[in-house]
Amino acid sequence: MVAIGPHTLPNNLVLAPMAGVTDRPFRLLCRTMGAGLAVSEMVTADASLWSSRKSRQRMDHSGEPEPIAVQIAGGDAPMLAEAARFNVANGARIIDINMGCPAKKVCNKAAGSALMRDEALVQEILEAVVAAVDVPVTLKMRTGWDRDNRNAETIARMAEDVGISALAVHGRTRADAYKGEAEYGTIAKVTQAVDIPVFANGDVDSPRKADEVLQETGADGLFIGRAAQGRPWLFRQINHYLATGEELPDPDQEEIRNILMGHVEALHGFYGEYIGLRVARKHVGWYLQARDPDKIFRRHFNRIEDAGAQLQLLDDYFQGIQTEEVRVA
């Protein structure tokens, strides 16, 4: 069991925050599929944007189980402190600081993983946010700015000293973005350097890999991001493997159909038809990536402009698979 401040998680698997992915429908789905915690998409520290549609939806936590974890992003300590206070007032029970995003549009504003180049600013931000709120503050970061400047261990010690409650470390530098393979040696050094919980992140895409990463790093838990796109049942599979050593099969076609159609319906309801249709397209693409290698179905699906027609086409698709299975059998 892992605790973040007063919050004891039901297991040590966390859905990592991903912009444009970990919206409320996906967070709720992953929690039902076995994630012990699901962190929101990053919310900007720029208060002038909080009234925008995108920010309002990112801060919508209606119906989510406690504790609600919200990630904030920015490069100005007073602004991040105010963003932390604002989100706690809006229901957040854990505040996560983003120092892991490698995207240029974030790093060019001296935010995300760009902050790791300026350790003095990192300390200023951590101190300001911890002092601003009475809920646990966590930090998500990378191993460093580039391979010659891996300073995650230094920042981890700093974070623990100022009162950060837990750390998540992605096993790549900012310069690596998502290229190559994650390295876990730096994460292992971080876990040895601090006494607060450490979550390993990066390339955890199967139950066996999850076990290997936990063993190699000594981490208390795992943040799982891209591997859960189109595979929310991965949390269930990893939990079962870690508990029993047995590998669960993927869900059968009927369960996948029910999961996917429920997810799409939730997206329509959350965003409204116009935006919900468009958000659903990328999620359906992830679900069916291995099942539709020629993208024939997905190209057809992406042209649909009606919510009911999207759901009907998905239902027809899975009925066709079942019919084909019966014919092959």
Q: Which residues are catalytic?
A: 101
Which of 137, 27, 131, 9 lies closest to 72, judged by CA?
Answer: 137
DSSP state of 169: E
Q: Is the dihedral of CA 102, 103, 105, 106 positive or negative?
A: negative
Strands 7-8 and 3-4: antiparallel
295 vs 288: CA distance, rounded Å? 9
- Extract the tokens encoding 140: 């998500």
Cβ atoms of 288 and 281 within 8 Å: the answer is no
- Extract the tokens encoding 121: 């600013």
User: Exposure pattern of 63-85 as b/e (b: 16+ CB <10 Å)?
Assistant: ebeebbbbbbbbbbbebbbbbbb
